[in-house]
């Protein structure tokens, strides 16, 4: 039996191996092919550099860090029209084209003059997240302590860590004390809530699209399989693949799994049905049905577009996201302890960027009932229940199921909110695009966002 | 950062490599650990051997083959009480303990004296599917033409091929001309319908639990990722790993992905919640949340329990399952052509067990509308719409969604059926076990089955 899909992977490994001999630490970027959704942006963004450390929710810290960002529109004199856009897992700050990078951005038609997020009214800012690979400090950055690439010496980060880095940009570069809105979808929806949670007095309005207030074990499971597949690629080398062949096979497979979670069955029923790629040929174990060639293509397109370690760290940050009271309290304790230690010594002797103790596996059962857990979340979210919040959910989304969207609205409302809480749900009659609806059904997502921003 | 999950995999590879030096073609079976659902059965089954060839839906054939089977209860004098149980993807013929193998079977408490499938009334037979690795001829069997293990020279098989092999057993060993019932869940549900479709006059009653009348592109996508992950394991060696280290890492990862599709979010919410395995330790990229350690364990348990090539072939057979008229017509044409060629020459010169032409990948769109496709299915299924059929669906199932269950019942009923079509749906208030409900909620699945069997 012929295995063209494996031939292709082996050829790519060989090509990458050849190119590694002439390049150094750079990640090779091959041609992305058609259907680009997230573009690999090496230029066109600005950099905010903090020389002060950032202390992290899990006890580590970064002695210094950079945040890549792009802007659209103008900051007004009152400095009260800033809209901060948060990205999903693998997106860059390039939400929209701009003079320094004219390629279409990932929300090109959502943001702009007269568009749903109107740059005639708002000063729009989008950053690359901490831990990412599109300009902000992440695992592929160099540790200033020794000049070496962090790789998996990079500390575990959280979504709340990401937004605390963003806030430094907002305060120090734009000198804005209160942003008009924090807007995001998917992991961007997490950030959107997290920003308000960390700085409730510095945000007017919050928009969370296809996000959540805490990650669900099923979503964790879906991301777990992607991470495990990636880490099992021999070329991952426990994160120290820079300068060598990157784990493109693991990245491709992880993206294929991810793509299954980003879309929906009904969409594929219409788009691919049970059609095979070539019905005149015998069935094969390599991609055969149209839907398989689609997944193969999606994986192929992504496998060198994003840094593998960034995928692991940012995916893990999503798992750890939880605005429950107990979780945030623990994070604050750990962070404060590291900060105090740092302040008293004006540094910390051992590097806390490496979790000091290895992890030991253990199988067990939940120690908290769903009801207790929900109460914990309600307590945590009460910190922002006086804010104006727009929650948008999509019924066909399996990664951030619609009941997680309702959960956000419910816990906000049950906290005797004084804010304007709005909840919109797009049924399967409106969108079968699943989790990716926020990228594809702009005309359905847009109007409630525009109205809410006011 | 420590990676105990990778340490473990590397140690297993080393251990297997050491043991390969003393063993030959056998697959090493390590201790399965707790929570066994499918047991690795090397003994206790009987073998039916056909010296006549089986011609396959995709044009290949097997010159001879064996079917492993086990039985419970007694065949009555009228020979009209045989109930044929069909297995899911990875199960053996060992549905229940019996004198030659006293280990509990995968439907231990469903079958037996006074149980839902009552062995006081029925003569119950269960086989290992063609393509499997628990005794029936599959990719790990030897090709009689040259004595070598088939590996990926094994022909692509379909669910309909499987049931045609089973029918030879029923006719030639038990001399039963009409079975009382064809019963199965998951891929067993496919077989259950397929058996009746192939031999409508030889089946009284059909039970399909969490099955379907045709595979959906979303289910194909979910299985695709598992196959790709497995085939990307360097130890898979395009199927020729026998005698060496088996692709245990790919198998483990494939099983982890599969496990996500077998259960449901709400179950895991209750079972694991957001609990971490050890909250006193820092977060890690290796399994960390309880749900991750569960998946890790499920994959670990399975990785040497099933033959990797069998997984690929049987998984592919599920993708190809489609009782639509056009699909079955094509299969019949191909099969007949091979058979005629074989008859005229009393053999075929070139081996048709290898698909002759390599597959070429192509991206495209569906050429058939969902409506046309449904009409095609309705025409195909009309062949069994005069039969008595019980369809059971589970609302929390994401792999065989409940609307696929309704589809079976709908197309049967829309064919002016004269049969007794019954449809049962287990809501989320009854079972949150998802696709695995048929293994776990016997007291909810059982009563309608018992009543229907009469």
Sign of the dihedral defined by the CA atoms of residues B327, B328, B333, B336, in that order:
positive
| B123: pLDDT strictly greater than 90 | yes
Contacts of A364 in chain B (CB under 8 A): 275, 277, 290, 293
- B374-394 average pLDDT score: 94
Distance in angstroms (rounded) separating the CA atoms of residues B46 and B100:
10
Q: Which chain B residues touch A218 with a CB distance below 8 Å?
A: 260, 264-265, 268-269, 291
The pTM assigned to this predicted structure is 0.92
B306/B301 Cα distance (integer angstroms): 10
- Compute CA distances A29 → A245, A303, B298, B406, whole Å: 12, 9, 36, 47
Say whether A6 sits in a helix, a strand or coil: helix
The bridge status of strand B179-185 relative to strand B203-209 is: parallel
Q: Output the pLDDT for position A42.
A: 57
Sign of CA dihedral A17, A21, A26, A28: negative
Q: Which is nearest to B194 in space by CA: B372, B57, B31, B51?
A: B57
Split at pLDDT 50, 70, 90, the class of A220 is: very high
Which of B231, B256, B277 lies closest to A364 in CB terms? B277
Facing residue for B228 by CB, picked from A58, A256, A272:
A256
Q: Is A290 on the interface with B (CB under 8 A)?
A: yes
Q: Which domains does chain A have, with CATH numbers?
A: 46-213+367-453 (3.40.50.1820)
| Banded model confidence at residue A397, pLDDT cuts 50, 70, 90 | very high
A112 backbone φψ class: left, alpha, beta (φ>0; ψ -120 to 50) = left
Q: Which of B70-74, B199-203, B362-366, B402-406 has the lowest mean pLDDT?
A: B362-366
> Do the Cβ atoms of A224 and B292 come within 8 Å?
yes
Q: Report the residue of A273, A298, A356 to disrupt the B interface, i.e. the one with the largest count of B CBs within 10 Å.
A: A273
Q: Decide if pLDDT at B319 tops 60.
A: yes
* Whole-number Cα distances in Å, A188 to A54, A177, A388, A439, B228: 20, 21, 17, 12, 30
* Identity of the residue in B238, B354, B365 whose CB atom sits nearest the CB atom of A3: B238
pLDDT tens-digit map of A348-371: 544 444 444 544 555 677 888 999
Task: Quote the pLDDT of residue B42.
Answer: 57
The C-alpha atoms of residue A71 and residue A347 are separated, in whole angstroms, by 34
Closest partner residue to A218 among B3, B265, B356, by Cβ?
Answer: B265
Could you count the other beta carbons within 10 Å of the beta carbon of residue B151? 19
* A115 within 8 A of A66, measured Cβ to Cβ: no
Query: ipTM value of the model?
Result: 0.91
Smallest Cα–Cα separation from A453: which of A86, A93, A107, A121? A121
Give me the residues of A, 146-205, that contact B with CB < 8 A: 152-153, 156
Interface test with A, best of B33, B224, B358, B364 (most A CBs within 10 A): B224
Q: What angle do CA B138, B315, B9 make, to 5 degrees?
A: 90
Q: Which of A152, A256, A398 lies closest to B225 in CB terms?
A: A256
The conformation of residue B128, written as its DSSP 8-state character, comes to P
Residue in chain B closest to A374 (alpha carbons) equals: B273
The model's confidence at residue A420, banded by pLDDT at 50, 70 and 90, is very high
End-to-end CA distance of chain A: 61
pLDDT at B363: 60
**Chain B CB within 8 Å of residue A225 CB:** yes
Using an 8 Å CB-CB cutoff, list chain A residues near B278: 359-360, 362
Residue A230: is its pLDDT beyond 50? yes
Residue range B141-161, pLDDT digits in tens? 999 999 999 999 999 999 999
Burial track B321-349 (b if 16+ CB lie within 10 A, e otherwise): bbbbbbbbeebeebbeebbebbeeeeebe
Residues 6-35, chain A, touching B (beta carbon < 8 A): 6, 9
CA angle A348/A307/A392 to nearest 5° reads 95
pLDDT of A384 strictly over 60: yes
Chain B residues lying within 8 Å of A9, measured CB to CB? 232
**Inter-chain contact B273–A366, Cβ cutoff 8 Å?**
yes
């Amino acid at each position: 039996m012929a295995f063209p899909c494996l031939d292709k992977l082996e050829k790519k490994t060989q090509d990458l191996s050849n190119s590694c001999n002439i390049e150094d630490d750079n990640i090779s970027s091959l041609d992305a092919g058609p259907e680009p959704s997230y573009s690999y942006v090496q230029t066109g963004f600005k950099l905010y550099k903090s020389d002060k450390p950032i202390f992290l929710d899990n006890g580590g810290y970064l002695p210094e860090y950079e945040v890549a960002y792009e802007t659209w529109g103008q900051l007004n004199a009152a400095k009260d029209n800033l809209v901060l856009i948060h990205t999903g897992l693998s997106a860059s700050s390039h939400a929209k084209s701009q003079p320094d990078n004219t390629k279409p951005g990932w929300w090109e038609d959502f943001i702009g003059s007269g568009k749903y997020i109107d740059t005639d009214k708002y000063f729009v800012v989008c950053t690359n997240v901490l831990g990412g690979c599109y300009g902000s400090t992440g695992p592929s950055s160099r540790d200033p302590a020794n000049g070496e690439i962090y790789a998996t010496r990079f500390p575990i980060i959280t979504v709340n860590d990401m937004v605390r880095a963003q806030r430094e940009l907002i305060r120090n570069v734009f000198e804005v004390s209160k942003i008009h809105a924090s807007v995001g979808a998917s992991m961007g929806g997490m950030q959107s809530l997290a920003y308000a949670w960390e700085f409730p007095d510095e945000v007017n309005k919050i928009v969370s699209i296809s996000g959540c207030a805490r990650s669900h074990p099923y979503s964790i499971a879906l991301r777990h399989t992607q991470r495990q597949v990636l880490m099992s690629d021999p070329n991952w080398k426990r994160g120290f693949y820079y300068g060598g062949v990157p784990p493109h096979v693991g990245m491709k497979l992880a993206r294929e799994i991810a793509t299954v979670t980003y879309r929906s069955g009904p969409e594929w029923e219409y788009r691919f049905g049970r059609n095979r790629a070539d019905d005149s040929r015998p069935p094969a174990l390599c991609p055969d049905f149209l839907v398989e060639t689609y997944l193969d293509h999606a994986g192929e397109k992504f496998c060198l577009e994003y840094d593998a370690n960034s995928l692991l760290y940012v995916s893990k940050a999503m798992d750890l996201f939880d605005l429950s009271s107990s979780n945030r309290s623990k994070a604050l304790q750990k962070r404060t302890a590291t900060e105090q230690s740092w302040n008293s010594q004006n540094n910390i002797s051992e590097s806390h960027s490496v979790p000091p103790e290895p992890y030991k596996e253990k199988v067990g059962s939940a120690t908290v009932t769903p009801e207790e857990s929900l109460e914990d979340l309600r307590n945590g979210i009460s910190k922002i229940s006086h804010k104006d919040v727009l929650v948008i959910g999509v019924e066909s989304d399996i990664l951030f199921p619609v009941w997680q969207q309702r959960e956000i609205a419910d816990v906000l409302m049950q906290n005797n909110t004084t804010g304007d809480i709005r909840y919109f749900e797009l049924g399967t009659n409106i969108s079968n695009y699943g989790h990716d609806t926020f990228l594809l059904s702009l005309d359905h997502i847009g109007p409630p966002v525009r109205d809410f921003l006011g």
